[in-house]
C-alpha cells in the first residue's frame, strides 16, 4: 500500500512541475544539476 501512495505522490509532483515549468521531474532535476555544476565551476 505504501508503494501505491508513493507513486501517487510522485505522479502528483510530476503533474505539478509539468504545469508550472513544462518539464518532467527527470528533466527538471537535470536542468537544476547542470545549473549547479556551472555555478560551482564559475566560483573557482
Task: Work out the angle between the directed axes of helices 2-21 and 25-43 (0-180°, nearest 10).
Answer: 70
What's the pLDDT band for 8 if we cut at 50, 70, 90?
very high
Whole-Å CA distances, 31 to 10, 22, 27: 18, 12, 6
Number of domains, the chain: 1
Per-residue model confidence as pLDDT tens digits over 9-23: 999 988 988 888 888
Q: Is the model's pLDDT at 44 over the cut of 70?
A: no
Residue numbers of the domain that contains 39: 1-43
Amino acid at each position: 500500500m505504501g508503494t501505491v501512495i508513493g507513486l501517487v505522490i510522485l505522479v502528483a509532483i510530476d503533474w505539478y512541475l509539468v504545469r508550472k515549468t513544462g518539464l518532467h521531474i527527470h528533466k527538471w532535476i537535470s536542468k537544476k544539476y547542470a545549473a549547479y555544476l556551472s555555478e560551482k565551476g564559475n566560483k573557482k
